[in-house]
Structure 1
Amino acid sequence: MGRAEERRARQRGGRRAAPRNRSSQTAAPDPRTEPLSSAEGATHAAAGGRAAARRGTPRGDKGAKGEKGRIRRLFTWKKMLSTFLGLTVLVIGAFIVLYMTTPIPDTANADAQLQSNVYKYSDGTMLARDGKLNRENVDLADIPKPVQHTFVAAENKTFYQDAGVDLKGTTRGVLNTVMGKGAQGGSTITQQYVKNYYLTQEQTVTRKLKELVISLKLDREKSKDYILAGYINTSYYGRGAYGIQAAAQAYYRVDADKLDVPQGAYLAALLQAPSQYDWAAASETGRKLVQQRWNYVLDNMVEEDWLDKAERDAMKFPVPEEPKPAPGMEGQTGYLVDAANNELARQLVTQGVAENINDALTMVKAGGWNITLNVEKKKQKALETSVKEQLTSKLDAKKRPVDGDVQAGAVSVNPKTGAVVAMYGGVDYVKHYTNNATRTDYQPASTFKPVILAAALDQGAVTQDDEEINANTVYDGTSKRPVVGSDIGFAPENEDDVDYGDVTVQTAMNKSINSVFAQMGVDVGMDKVLKTAGDLGMDTAELKAVPAQTLGTMGASPLQMAGVYATLDNHGKQVTPTLIKSAENSAHAVQSADSIGEQVISREAADTVTSVLTGVVDDGTAQKSVRDNPLRNGQKVAGKTGTSDDNKSAWFTAYTPDLVTTVGLFGESAKPPHPQVTMTGATGLLPGKGRINGGGYPAQIWAAYTFGVSNKVSRFDLRTDQGAAVQPTITASPSPTPSEEPSEEPSTATPSTKPSKTQTPSQTPTTEEPSEEPTTQEPSEEPTTGEPSTEEPENPLDPQFGQ
């Protein structure tokens, strides 16, 4: 059989083709032309099957085998090895070219030559200009050797032995930059000096590679002392201080040559996070972190035999002096400038321009920025005037020392845009360095209660009786009643230890009843409550989900709480308060942060909370200062008061449809180290009786400001059928029977163990002011712990309410 015939036979698949040149074999009959016996048919079918298998039927099997074969041929170990070696040679060659073509710059980078930053109000008018360079270089020989060692111990223990670079850390940094994972640290002192002085803080692969090359060259050409001197003379230490001489004066009022080891260790520790670690402005967490860093520095010095262990053990943390703000930053200007700088630095990190907050602040402080704030000049002036007229004009520290311990902070936000339109940081930036509007070290107290209700409504939570929680749900308001359903025992006391008996959620919010919201938090689940709090804008990362958090015992700032309530006002769409409208310099145009986020709780839940909070203003703890204010003119308002344990803080956060404002008063000792203290008795209120409540001065400041800047009366657009804004207040009967005088002793009524009741209140709904309560005094706030309050019933003629 010829080749053509054999090929045709294989294609027909009917039989095995006969081998060529083998005449002894008989060709199989063609089934198309000759009949087959049964045996012959079976033999023919088997032969056809084998032929089909050899042909690769189905065709995909042969293709897969071929593909695998090509892959194996492509990825042989020889080819992989040669590819790796080729890439290695290429990288080495590229690095050699980069090394040869990248010189050590002759002069400092443009960022190292400080220029002015210009700050403007939202309308473009001038707010401030800064930029005077606070830097004075000193010779390394003038800095005590042990102080020099503190910086090496803090940043780069191998500084005196290494080649100027950390290849592992740099490689990690380059890869993270390429993959967009941010900074991971690992730079040597030499690399940090090169970045600060010769290059920029930008987070780019090109800058990192240049930093590596210049660092290698600099280490070969210059001494370690030259590099160390450059590093400590160009680093930013906070408080506007560049270099160790300026830092020594800013923090300890001494020249660099007079620094001791504990002071040097603190300055060295600062370099990791100068804003967070500045003792004067640091939160409690920040102070703990900088002390840990300080200890780390000293321990490393002992490890390197630079410090005797006995001497190190005897050292005490050197608390820095109070800061002296720069000229031109008086009044509210310094607070606004600092807050803008910090926000800009965070944006630079978020957008990948800088590796970390420290580098970003260095970029900002280097100057050349044109920064426009969202702050509206008219509203800013109105807020300052309101605080002065309603509070600070009544404080006299010479007559009453406690008056010197009262600090005020406030933030006003547009809920539709997130713009911070006004901010009050304190009496004067040059007199009180800490910004009271952004500090997070005081408890928000009962202003946290709306967050619990929001979580309950959004999650569809139910009571222990399996009844859905809403504005009309009835809870047991007995003081010190143990919560049910918690693994942790908790029985909070209501203010003045008042027993309210069965009350609706609406009434509990109006009266700020601790026992109700403690139980509600457990009913919802404290983990879910804190999740909602975080979604609304609070910092809950390190909070424990325990029932005590229902009383607002965590720390929060007026800025944070304004964001939480702005989100409620914005129908559940997250609002992040934003101070900066735009910022740009010669190299960067920073995008304005997206202040309006996603829907974090349902609109119905947010609107229901708003509806309930209108009752606090019209029938609850804020009615004296807000409801009856002659400037209100029918304006709809929702809000909540709050007063923390021992009267260390007092809050009022409230909103109209167009403006959200938080006002906080904080008891801070005028004497260093400025611990938290009570405000009771301030402004002449009777000691032990003159408690400053959220419904007093904070609400008065809020009302004078808000009603003064409002141009029109507006109404809430609410999608809910619950709460005081859309239905009458339902007031359940109090327990025990109301008395004519406040009880001098705690109630002896047996606390109910039942957390809620599901029956409908029998009282006829009413919108009248709830005058028939357990006492003749409506409690305005509760302490956040179970300690009895010493406050007597509020007097309408009390100075904190105005006369």
Structure 2
Amino acid sequence: MFIGLLVLAGIYLSMRSNLPSVESLRDLQWQTPMQIFSADGKLISQFGEKKRIPLTLEEMPQQLINAILATEDDRFYLHFGVDPIGMGRAILGQIIGQNKGGASTITMQVARNFFLTREQTYVRKIREIFISFHIESLLTKDEILTLYMNKISLGHRSFGFGAAAQVYYGKDVKDLTLAQIAVLAGLPKAPSTLNPISRPDRAKQRRAVVLQRMFSAGYITAQQLSDANNAPISAKKHGAEIELSAPYIAEMAHQEMIDRFGKETAYTGGFKVFTTVTSHLQHAAQQALINNILAYDIRHGYRGALASLRSVNEESITTKEANNQADLIPITTEEAIAALSSWPSYHHLEPAVVTAVFEQTADITLKNGSNATLDWSALSWARAYINDDKQGPAPTSANEILALGDVIMVAKTTSGYRLSQVPDVSAALVSLNTDNGAIKAAVGGFSFQQSQFNRVTQAKRQVGSNIKPFIYSAALANGYTLASIVNDAPINQWDRSTGVVWRPKNSPPVYSGEIRLRLALAQSKNVIAVRLLRAVGLDNIIPYLALFGFNPHDLPRNESLALGSASLTPLEVATGFATFANGGFLVTPYLIERIEDSFGNIIFQANPAIACDECNTGEAEPTALLQADTMSKDVDNFEAALTNNTINKAPRVISAQNAFLMTEALNSAIWGADWNIKPYWQGTGFRARSLNRRDIAGKTGTTNQAKDAWFSGYSRRLVTTSWIGFDDPSRNLGQTSYNANLGKQQTTGKEFGAKSAQPAWINFMKVALADLPIEPFTQPDALLSVRIDKASGKLTTKTDRSSRFEYFELGTAPTEYVSQDLSSEILDGGNTEENSELEIFD
């Protein structure tokens, strides 16, 4: 025995230098997953292979602690790291060839889990014992127990009891029942074979052992023992408790975190990433985009079933006749469920199998085995899709649409189910705080599950007439005014390099002759934009457009630039429009507001550039600057930044006067109209009047052949861009004819910005503007307002409908009065169509 003790002492001395330090145990960095949150604290997503939710001992329920002690180490608070009684029992068992239980204490398991492998050797066991002695000398019992309960592997990639409660029961650990606690407490012995998802029978047996030991130790009563033993095994696999589904936002934040910290650190550092998006705005953006896509898809017709479980000999029998054939084999529920297992669901769309077709109804079986009936109101929209420009006739019976065995998509509604389909068309919507670039909402497509391509940041598409405000801004900076008269007449230009004549046209091809700039922009006159580009000069236009954040390499060096041939992302377009909204400053979009480590310490706090003149002097009131982000900015932090003069100031890129004048013109694109004097007109964005807000401005945009449709618009504090188009650039948005089954409230005719993209913008802004008070755009200094004659742009003394007040920068107002009465010849615009949607002719 003496020799044995000397040997052990020698081994201990040889290993002591390799034993863990107190710092490595007390300053432990848990390998916890990265979590992405909204600005209001809603969990958006979680990234990381290991699931762990570190908890303090105080945060763990006492019943769980009792279950662990009773099952794993009932003398934990009595021994010194090694339990002599347990060790002696295990050695005796080895000698007599019987299993007398393991000798590992909780301290020894901590030693093994943190510093050793699970190999079964005597050397490893001796090292485990020595490390246990060392741990006991460094840490308190409570600290050791906390390490154990957070480190232990419990199956399904969950580590620690906080994560296991979420994985198996979708609950916080404090909300677990005694039966559920006993199941989890039984997992450390063999998490792969005792977990209640893979082996519920063995989990139940192990639970009984845990409960019996708790009863024997006096932790629970006989009644609690009986109730818990009789409880069902209710575990099923749960993911992270997502409170806000925003996968495109999550992926944007995820990628930025990898860029900042590297993949391994980002996934295991336990970072909590708080984004700038607010949950209700993100939800509103998603609903607006999805509803707009589905509306577009429905009006263009039904593309048919995804698949069919019943084939029909088309040479001998038509599909319509086949539906009435008694000899067709019925679809069983089991067959339907098996067939649907491979078809995914998207949002509120889910797959179903048609099990019967009647005159104007159809029966379906859903993926979960339930049955439903599609009535005629759920089917009547589904005329046949022929191509993007043509649809079949309105159906009159259900068997013109569906056949027995069709695999289809249906949408859940308040009254039941409606026939639907996964859209082919794509879309994007992004909204920014105009004063600091904070992304308040972003949706990169119909479904992240369907396509991970984020069209907000990755899709460079031709912008169409969305480029015109920037062309007009350049014109204002080069001597033009909103009252300047430009000739709206066809352009014919011979191009020697191509050998063809370039003829940019208005869309529709209606020309108004001499017209004021305000009206030309409101009606989106194409040839006016070209004439303004020529007047400013291409060499001046491209550097000017770069001031708004556009990459000069994305701007073609030819006159088609004036018609929107540049390809930009929706995020870039929204950033450019923010400059008009905030009074002339270029803000930088950002998504991550702050990053916390696993202990809640802030390791990164965004310091965005703020659009303000006041902060340049240090004289601004904090309350004025706080308006820069009314939905997420922390008041104390903002006031502290102001006091310490650490406000990051956004660069001014255009004058406040220019920005105000452009906003005035873009307000006319929504609110401008004249129905009393021929030929009548209204702005291309007139549909936004439904918001009943005068403090908004915006611009439609449609490219050649309507391959892309846009609407960008803003209030003083929020700018939003909506885009719709096909990922396949060969397809255009097409047109639709009247569907007799849908009534009068339907969209028909050619697709363009106001019809195709603006509805999503309107529906989103209806929610977003409800959070913001009416705030007119502030008129800056060095502007004056004078009454002008509408036809000539000259001064007038008349106060009738032939005149209006117009804004001018000092020194640019007209000085000449109109010399004759032109009230009968007022040229205020085109026609009553969506007058000026763009076509690009190369």
The bucket for the TM-score relative to the shorter chain is 0.3 to 0.5
Q: So what's the TM-score if we normalise by structure 1?
A: 0.48
Q: So what's the TM-score if we normalise by structure 2?
A: 0.46
Q: Which has the higher strand share?
A: 2
Bigger Rg over Cα = 1
